[in-house]
Amino acid sequence: MSASTFPDGFLWGGALAANQSEGAYLEGGKGLTTVDMIPHGPNRLPVKLGLEKRVALRNDEFYPSHQAIDFYHRYKEDIALMAEMGFTVFRTSIAWSRLYPNGDDAAPNPAGIAFYRDVFNECRKYGIEPLVTLCHFDVPMHLVTEYGSWRNRKMVDFFTRYARTCFEAFDGLVKYWLTFNEINILLHSPFSGAGLVFEAGENQDQVKYQAAHHELIASALATRIAHEVNPVNQVGCMLAGGNFYPWSCKPEDVWAALEKDRENLFFIDVQARGAYPSYSARVFREKGVHIDMLDGDAEILKNTVDFVSFSYYASRCASADMNEHNSSAANIVKSLTNPHIQRSEWGWGIDPLGLRITMNMMYDRYQKPLFLVENGLGARDDINVDGKIEDDYRISYLREHIRAMADAIADGVPVMGYTTWGCIDLVAASTGEMSKRYGFVYVDRDDHGNGTLARRKKKSFGWYRKVIASNGRDLD
């Protein structure tokens, strides 16, 4: 392997998302969104899973998204830091409820459009290409309470209107788009993933897969609209990635791993290949799921994406005997604990070779360019007596994963770019913590909302600048 395998024009950068960075949750005409209802603390998980209904904020809870890292007011400083590292791409998302505060409004909110035009212009000032996710774990709350979110077909119209507004309003500023962040997370974290709340006794699989169908239709239509508005637009799907390894070579374990992979890849199979995969009929039958489809849906789904993007934090592991008690979640998806790899402080596996395996599998399956849009190590950082943050553990994680990505490129996999997750520290999606940090830039804020929000460069900041300047040759 040689790190010089990265092609000219390879996009290097980092990623944030509106819901975990912007804050200003009711400023500029923004409406309440799903993430604004998800508290820090013991109630977080049941709300995220759609098991505990939240339609109003409570006085006795802390909501980390409300201020987050205040990117809304500090984006100029943050983008300048990205430019100093040499970013050529910055991934972020648009908060749907900044443009359509209720989701079903007749016209978009001009203040929301103005804010994102300013952000994207700021990127362009430094030659940074924005990579924009339309929906990253936030659905306007009015759409949840009034329509039941994605269980309702009307969401397709609301979403495509919003998507068209984005493509038209930001035409010439943005050309790389993602429709739904980690679309498969709808299955694993239904409220944070798709605004779904369950009623007692209903078939949750039915609700989830019908909602998935609506998202897949909306994604395909948005892809078509993006191309109509400007053929230069390139649209990607986005998978919470990481292959499942079989626990053993026992055929039953191998089959279990294949089934688990299909559960996640189902979404990308539709978005990248343009039709429901052949295995889905049997899976739906077993789960008692019947998808309501309209005439013309099969045609709509043929609007496939231009590229396949994905997050990769860890590989996963499955066996025929896997159950609630012997598995645990890493990036929300349940896995057995693989004894052959190390784990982060939060128990997520560390497996760079798993990235190479995942990338090869995905390119074999889809034959479309890949974009690794999230990767990184969530870790606690300490400020030493000299005021420095020596995050060698983060450098080491990223170095090994960049090497694995270079190996995949050498294997023949076309890769458009790499954006590390949480390039500036932000709120963790799973736990709502600030102490689970991913950034090259430290943000002074704790898990309870205390701190000045001041930014401070970590050791990894200078390291990543060298990586980018050398187009991935200098990883030392």
User: Catalytic site residues?
Assistant: 374
Between residues 165 and 331, which has the closer beta carbon with respect to ligand BG6?
331
CB of 189 to ligand BG6, least distance (A): 9
| The one among 68, 194, 240, 301 contacting ligand BG6 by CB under 6 A | 240
Which range, of 26-34, 226-234, 428-436, 453-461, touches ligand BG6 by CB under 6 A? 428-436
**Min. distance of Cβ 40 from ligand BG6 in angstroms?**
12
In the list 39, 101, 378, 417, the residue contacting ligand BG6 (rule: CB under 6 A) is: 378
Characterise 384 by phi-psi region: left (phi > 0), alpha (psi -120 to 50), beta (else). beta
Site string for ligand BG6, 105-134 (x = CB under 6 A): ------------------------------
Q: Smaller CB distance to ligand BG6: residue 137 or 150?
A: 137
Q: How far is the CB of 439 from ligand BG6 (least distance, A)?
A: 12
Cα 109 to Cα 23, 73, 100, 135: the distances in Å are 18, 18, 6, 17
Does position 335 bind ligand BG6 by CB under 6 A? Answer: no
**Burial zone of 374 (CB within 10 Å; 0-12 exposed, 13-18 middle, 19+ buried):** buried
Would you call 323 exposed, middle or buried from its count of C-beta atoms within 10 A (0-12, 13-18, 19+)?
exposed
* Closer to ligand BG6 by Cβ: residue 93 or 303: 93
Interface stretch with ligand BG6, choices 114-122, 145-153, 386-394, 429-437 (CB under 6 A): 429-437
CB of 204: closest distance to ligand BG6 in angstroms?
A: 20
Q: Does 430 bind ligand BG6 (CB under 6 A)?
A: yes
136 or 399, CB closer to ligand BG6?
Answer: 136
Cβ distance to ligand BG6 smaller for residue 134 or 254:
134
Q: How far is the CB of 434 from ligand BG6 (least distance, A)?
A: 10
Least separation in angstroms between residue 433's CB and ligand BG6 is: 8
Q: Which is nearer to ligand BG6, 17 or 402 (CB)?
A: 17
Q: To the nearest whole angstrom, how small is the minimum distance from the Cβ of residue 384 to ligand BG6? A: 24
Which structure tokens are listed for 462? Answer: 């200078």
Return the residue of 21, 181, 233, 243 that touches ligand BG6, per CB under 6 A.
Answer: 181
Using the rule CB under 6 A, is 135 a contact of ligand BG6? no
Q: Do strands 349-350 and 342-343 pair parallel, antiparallel, or not at all (unpaired)?
A: antiparallel
Question: In the stretch 285-324, what mask flags binding to ligand BG6 with x, by CB under 6 A?
Answer: --------------------------x-------------
With beta carbons less than 8 A apart as the criterion, state whether 89 and 309 touch. Answer: no
Number of residues that bind ligand BG6 (CB under 6 A): 15
Under the binding rule (CB under 6 A), the answer on residue 17 touching ligand BG6 is yes
447 forms part of the interface with ligand BG6 (CB under 6 A): no
Q: According to CB under 6 A, which one of 436, 437, 445, 458 is a site residue for ligand BG6?
A: 436
The one among 92, 233, 315, 331 contacting ligand BG6 by CB under 6 A: 331
**Cα(358)–Cα(336) distance, rounded to whole angstroms?**
18
Phi, psi angle pair for 119, to nearest 5°:
-60, -45
The answer to whether 182 contacts ligand BG6 (rule: CB under 6 A) is yes
Tokens coding 437: 């940090």
> With respect to ligand BG6, which residue has the nearer C-beta, 21 or 160?
21
Which 398-427 positions form the footprint of ligand BG6 (CB under 6 A)?
421
25 contacts ligand BG6 (rule: CB under 6 A)? no
Tell me the per-residue interface mask from 251 to 290 with ligand BG6, x by CB under 6 A, - otherwise: ----------------------------------------
Q: For every residue of the chain, which 3-state class applies, written as one string?
A: CCHHHCCCCCEEEEECCHHHHCCCCCHHHCCCEHHHHCCCCCCHHHHHCCCCCCCCCCCCCCCHHHCCCCHHHHHHHHHHHHHHHCCCEEEEECCHHHHCCCCCCCCCCHHHHHHHHHHHHHHHHCCCEEEEEEECCCCEHHHHHHHCHHHCCHHHHHHHHHHHHHHHHCCCCCCEEEEECCCCHHHHCHHHHHCCCCCCCCCHHHHHHHHHHHHHHHHHHHHHHHHHHCCCCEEEEEEECCCEEECCCCHHHHHHHHHHHHHHHHHHHHHHHCCCCCCHHHHHHHHCCCCCCCCCHHHHCCCCCCEEEEECCCCEEECCCCCCCCCEEECCEEECCCCCCEECCCCCEECHHHHHHHHHHHHHHHCCCEEEEECCCCECCCCCCCCCCCCHHHHHHHHHHHHHHHHHHHCCCCEEEEEEECCECCCCCCCCCCCCECCCEEECCCCCCCCCCCEEECHHHHHHHHHHHCCCCCCC
Nearer to ligand BG6, 137 or 159 (CB): 137
Nearest distance from C-beta of residue 358 to ligand BG6, angstroms: 15
Smallest distance, ligand BG6 to C-beta of residue 329, A: 10
Binding region for ligand BG6 (CB under 6 A): 17, 20, 137, 181-182, 240, 311, 331, 374, 378, 421, 428-430, 436
